[in-house]
Amino acid sequence: IHAEANKFAYQTGVKIAVAYGGAPIGQQLRVLERGVDILVATPGRLVDMIERERVSLKKIKYLALDEADRMLDMGFEHQIRNIVQQMNMPAPGARQTLLFSATFPDN
């Protein structure tokens, strides 16, 4: 998603960042500290950054959650809902939230 977003944003001035587990968090945080317009993140890494008070969602315009199917399968629905509904995000009309998945569970 991050690579595709970069293609669409090429030469537009739109700043895009990616945050996911399994990669060094330090570099991801440095990019975020410069400010971003679009954040592509896995729920676990995003919650980690928010809980460390290194990320605020107060001014976010676009939030893309990748691997949503895996997170739901692993029981992280509460975490996803917490990000979208509880963590100082702008109202739904003031931001766009995208959940990406190859498949979603029936329930």
Question: For residue 107, is pLDDT > 70?
Answer: no
pLDDT tens per residue, range 63-103: 777 777 777 788 878 878 888 776 678 887 888 888 777 76
What is d(CA 63, CA 37) in angstroms, rounded to the nearest whole number? Answer: 9
Helix, strand, or coil (residue 39): strand
In the chain, the largest separation of any two C-alpha atoms, in whole Å, equals 41
- Report the C-alpha dihedral over residues 26, 71, 101, 49, rounded to 10 degrees: -20
Q: Are 20 and 45 in contact (CB under 8 A)?
A: yes
- What's the topology of domain 2-99? Rossmann fold (3.40.50)
pLDDT tens per residue, range 21-62: 899 999 999 998 998 888 888 778 888 898 888 888 888 777
Domain boundaries defined on the chain: 2-99
What is d(CA 20, CA 48) in angstroms, rounded to the nearest whole number? Answer: 10
Q: Which residues contact 18 (CB under 8 A, 6 or more apart)?
A: 1, 2, 28, 39, 40, 41
